[in-house]
Every structure is written in structure tokens, then in C-alpha cells.
Structure 1
Amino acid sequence: MTGPAAPKPLHIAVVGAGQIGSTFAFQLARAGGHEVTVVARPGSPRLAQLRRDGGIVTRKGDRAAVRVLDALDESTSYDLVIVTLMAHQVDAVLPALRQSRAECVQFMFNVFEPERLAAAVGTERCSFGMPFVQARLDADGRLDPVIGAGGQKTLMGRQRWVDVFAAAGLPAALEPDMPLWLRCHAPLCVAFESVSVSGERRSGGVSWSEASILARGLKACFSLIEEQGSVVYPRSKRLMYRSPTAGVAAMLLGLSRIRSFRELLATGEAECCALVDDMVGAATSSNRLDLARSIAAMKPVNSALK
């Protein structure tokens, strides 16, 4: 007797060849056995590195062969396209995603208004996720991934992709309301990135005044979410929303003193400022200028992107 047939390899494209996208592509190709295409920005050093190496290479010398393109092939019937860009970068690839023959497009980044993306590519084939892996790319393009640290699992809105990721050595879990989870995570992402950027500029953390401004802005974001007709989700964020502002400020102040935390998130200044602009726009559209002012103040101190 023979055992069950091995699962058929999937055709997967990863749009965005940075740290997260490279980690996903490496694992899905090497451990998962899937046919993976990586799309890197035209003319970028990363595109040149991938073409030179013929795939993704780790600092340990392990290699995953992937197809390398500078634009998504709209004619290929991918089973899954994973988009690991940042929210403020995704508009450039939305036309190609909309016109592609992909069965599913999964956006995996912080975003405050996920419904806009779903409408752009088609709600029926749109999915969302949030990556929880850590990785670095050295100057030569070698990948140093950290997967599953502290029991972290990437969150996704469809069980099929949870299973595919888990089988490829990427711990994952199902989040039944991924769009709402992302909307409520965006304010926390801003607070963490802003406190990290400002703390790194001080080489030792932020002031109590700065932490308090971020705490008030975070609560303003949660108020905006409620005003839009949603609940603050999940329970951990709802508890934070209901906590005294001084308590939230103390948490942010403490995190800004942790060097490893600052270094990990201080690279997110552009994402932080873009998310703030999105939330300020939503508050302004709701005629809540008081909330808009508090949210706008969350941008990192002395940010060049203000």
C-alpha cells in the first residue's frame, strides 16, 4: 500500500523582497516545496542581489531557488500572492494586483483602512495577515531570519494559508476578524514605532511629556475606531483603551528605555508617519478635529517626514 499523495506545490508570488518577504519566500520555497516568485523593486540593489544569487541565500549559506522578477506577472494564475510592502507603498502595485489572475491576494502589513484594499482587488479573493517574524538582510543581501521567537505566530484570516505557512515552518494562527484586528493594531504600531524612533534619537528613551502625548494619541485612535462603528479589538487593546492615560504613558516610557525594542522598531518611521496621516484623514472626514490633532501629535519628535 502507498501512503497519501504529497500535497501539490502551489504557485506563490511574494511582492516585496525585504526582510519579511524574503523570509516568507525562503521558507515557502525551501521547506514548503512551493514554486515561489519574488518581486523586487525595479532597479533596486535587492533586485540585483537576488538575480546575482539566483534566489535567496542566508548568512549560513542555505539557498532557496526562486524566480526573480521586477514586476508581478499578471498572466500567471498564482494560487497566492503575498504582499509584504508597507501600506504607503502598496498603491504602486494595486493596478497589477487588480488585473492579475491570482486566486488570492493576501496583504500582510499594518493598515488602518483594509476595506480600501479589498475593494481594489476584489473582496472575494482578498485576504489579510500580519507577519510575526524577525529578520535582517546584511549589506550583501544575506538573510538572517528569526522565526517563532517567544512563541510568536503570524496571523492570517484564512485557514488554508495558516496550514500552508505552518507546513513550511512558519508558525501561524487563524484570526477570524483580521481586518478589524489590523485597524486596531495600527494605532499601537504607531505608538511603538514613534517611541522607538524618538528614543533612538535620544540614545536612551523619550521624556514623560513625549510618552504622555503618545498615550493620548493612542486613546484618540481607539476613540476614532469606536466612532466609526467598530469595537476596539481584541480584548488586550480594549483594556489598554480603558486604562488610565498615565499607565499607558508609563508603559511606552519603559519600552523606550529598552535598546533592543528601539532598534527593532526605529526603522519604521516612514510607516509610522504614513499611518498617522491615514488616521488623521479619517478623523478629519468624521469632523473630529480634536481627535485629529491628538493623532497628528504621535509622529516622532523632529521627524523629517512630518
Structure 2
Amino acid sequence: MTRVDVIGAGVVGTIYAAQLAEAGHDVHLVARGRRADELEGGARIHDIVSGRRSVTPVGVGTSARDTADVVLVAVGAHDLPEAIKLVPTGRAPVVLLGNGIVDVTAGLPAARAVVAFTGAGGTMSGGEVQQFDTDKGKRFPVTIDAHHPAADDVRSLFLSAGVPVDLEPDMASWRRTHHAVVVAMAGALELAGGDPWRLSTTPDIQRVLGRAVKESYVAVRRTGHHLTPAHLARLGKVPEPMLHLAVRQMFTSTFGINRFAAHHRHARLELSHLAGEMEGLLDEAAVLAPSARLLCSRLQDPRPSLIVGSNDLRTDPTAPLAAGLVALAGLHWWSRRRQG
């Protein structure tokens, strides 16, 4: 049994606290005020994919324990400096599960700071977590810096609770690639007034989103990082017409509505903070990035959304040619299979 303290009693902290407690670990959740009162009867979670509701007893207190074997910090990037003040002294590894690309360890000693990223997600309603962290039956993994000395121990801890884990050999690049996509998608939703249906039916917003991702990827590479993981890296190579189709499918799906749109509604301060960090990356890379900067500015200073169906921006002139070549290649492959 591992003594685990969780700083941050929001969606992510509550989900992992409950999962670890159900696995038999000694879990202590740091919470104050109304949230501490809500947790007196246990961590209440509603998995909106499976429909399962659970109430898991967890320890609750206003401060972390000096005896903890592992500390999880599950707060947004804008709250990280204050959360770090609650980390107890000692040598226990501190797993940092939040977003952000600037000062992600918040001054913690490198020997203790395990940079990671959460796979859990959802919203909070009346003290109950509405959990959404699965897609097509698969739970999203926690991603952990593979080079940290405590990586294997932290991995084993999560696996013991049934939480999948990815060990990432280049966490700095991974976080920047992920950051580029998250900010672009959140900014596009802001441009659509927070309405995923409007985003899925407005070609101009889809074009701005696609261009913002590509511009941000240029900044990631120019600052000495590479694009990873592979499925996100591929977004930068998709021709505009095909990307528009993917965006429409994404934001009309249960996954898009619950994962992206819900996060956009409930994490406005965090997204504004992340947009500021993205602008800093664009400045560091000396990239003009008009689309990426537009979406960053919208997250930091909300303004009226675009008209539904707006279709004034010209499609990237290279996109139809690229789409045609892809179609021809597919036709050639299909004809060879029939002949064979």
C-alpha cells in the first residue's frame, strides 16, 4: 500500500484519488472550503460513458502529509505556483499532472518533480465529477517523463489502479505539440461562441483552426523540439479539405462535445493562461502565425463569434492538389488490389 497525497480536489484530482483508493492505497486529498465539505461522504464520480456512479471514501485535509510516499499535483497551469506551496518537504516524488509549457516544475527540485500529463477529464456538477476519459472503450493514459528516476514507480502506482500509462522519452516536445493543438481547438471553439455545432458548420473557423495548428507546429520545431506523439504530428500534414472533414467529425461526436467543448466551458482561466504561453512560444520562434495569434487573442479577450456558416476565407491553394494526389494514390492502390 502506497501513501498518496493529492493536491487539487477538482476533476482530475478527484478521479485519481478515487481510483487509487479503490485499488487499496492510502489516499489523502487536499481540499478546503466547500469542496472539503462535499468530500466528507466520499469522492462522488459519475462515469458518463458507462453510466456507473460511485462514492469512494478518501481521506481529506487542508494540508498534505509529511509521510506521503508520492504526491500528485492536479491543478491547472495558472494555479500551479500556489499549489506547489502545499507540497510537503522531503524526498517523495511529486507528479505534476497539469497543462503548460512554461516553468512546468514551478521551482521544485528536479529530483522530485515528475513531469506528467493527465488522461482523466470531465466536469464538476454539484460536487459530483462527471467523468469522461475514455474513447471507443479505451481509457486515456497518463503520460510520464520516461527519464525521471521515479518514472517506473509512478507508472506502477497508476497501473495498480487500472490507469494506463505511456512513458514519453521527450516530454518537453510532447507537451509543446499537445499545447499547440489544445490552444488551437479551444480558440476555435471561442471563435464559435463555445458551440461545437457552430464550429462544425462554419468553414472559416475550421480553416483558421487548421492553419493555427500548422503555424504553431512551426514554432515548436523552430524552438528546438520535434512533433510528438505521431497522431498529433500528422495533423500538420493534412490538407485543408480533409482537415475540415476531421474537424466536423470531431466536434459533432460524443468525444468532442464532452472532452473539448465541456473543458472550454469550465476551464476559461486555464485556457487564457495557456494561450498566453502559446503566444510566448510564437514570439520566441519569431513566427508571424496570424491564425494562431488570432485564436490566442480570442481566448484571452473574448469577443463576438463568427456568423454560422461563414465561408469567406480562401482555401489553401495547395490543398485541392494535395487532396487530389491522395485520392489518385488511393484509387491506384484499390485498382492494384482488384487486379491482384
Instruction: Give TM-score, length-normalised by structure 1.
Output: 0.80
Distance in 1 (alpha carbons) for counterparts of 2:142 and 2:258: 21
What residue in structure 1 maps to residue 95 of structure 2? 106
Q: 1:136 to 1:287 in 2, by over 3 A?
A: closer
Q: What is the Cα deviation at residue 221 of structure 1?
A: 1.1
Distance 2:155 2:138 in 1: 15
1:79 has 2:69 as partner = yes
Given that 1:199 and 1:257 are in contact with CA atoms closer than 8 Å, whether structure 2 keeps it comes out as: no
Match of 1:91 in 2: 81
1:76-102 CA distances to partner (integer Å, 9 max, x unpaired)?
1422111111112212223343x6325
* 1:268 aligned residue (258, 263, 266): 263
Query: TM-score normalised to the size of structure 2?
Result: 0.73
Q: Distance in 1 between matches of 2:194 and 2:221?
A: 34
Structure 1 contact 205–257 (Cα < 8 Å) conserved: no
Shift in Å at residue 180 of structure 1? 2.1
Identity value in percent: 20
Structure 1 pair 47–252 and aligned structure 2 pair: CA distance change class (3 A) = same
Unaligned runs of 5+ in 2: 47-51, 146-150, 304-340
Distance 2:245 2:219 in 1: 23
1:295 aligns with 2:292: yes
- Contact 2:194–2:261 at 8 Å: present in 1 too? no
In the other structure, the counterpart of 2:21 is 29
Counterpart code for 1:242 = K
- Match of 2:29, as an amino acid? V
Alignment of 1:54-65 (within 5 A): 55-58=42-45, 62-65=54-57
Query: Which of 220, 223, 239 is residue 225 of structure 1 equivalent to?
Result: 220
Out of 87, 106, 111, the residue aligned to residue 124 of structure 1 is: 111
Aligned equivalents of 1:299, 1:252: Cα separation in 2? 19
> Which residue in 1 is equivalent to 2:177?
184
Q: Which residue of 1 aligns with 2:317?
A: none
Cross-structure match for 1:215 = 210
* In structure 2, C-alpha distance between the alignment counterparts of 1:119 and 1:133, rounded to whole Å: 22
Whole-angstrom CA distance in 1 between matches of 2:257 and 2:113: 33
Supply the distance in 2 between the matched residues of 1:131 and 1:165 (Cα, whole angstroms). 11
1:216/1:294 contact within 8 Å kept: yes
> Rg: which structure is higher?
2
Deviation at 1:165, TM superposition (A): 0.9
2:144 — aligned with what?
156
Alignment-mate amino acid for residue 178 of structure 1: M
2:107 alignment partner, SS class:
helix
Distance (Å, rounded) in 2 between the aligned partners of 1:227 and 1:123 = 26
CA drift at 1:234: 2.3
* 2:134 is equivalent to residue 142 of structure 1: no
| Cα pair 1:197 1:262 within 8 Å, conserved | no
Question: What's the CA shift for 1:131?
Answer: 2.1
Instruction: Please list the CA deviations of residues 231-272 of structure 1 after superposition, one character each: whole Å capped at 9, or x if unmatched.
Output: 111222332223334433442243233365124322333233
* Deviation digits for residues 105-149 of structure 1 (CA, Å, limit 9, x no counterpart): 111122223xx233610112211222223445441x234545655
CA distance in 1, matches of 2:198, 2:56: 39
Q: 1:46 aligns with which of 20, 35, 44?
A: 35
Q: 2:73, 2:95 within 8 Å by CA — same for their partners in 1? A: yes
Deviation at 1:217, TM superposition (A): 1.1
Residues 242-257 of structure 1 mapped to structure 2, 5 A cutoff: 242-257=237-252
Q: Partners of 2:60 and 2:3 in 1: how far apart?
A: 13
Work out whether residues 222 and 241 of structure 1, in 8 Å CA contact, stay in contact via their aligned partners in 2: yes
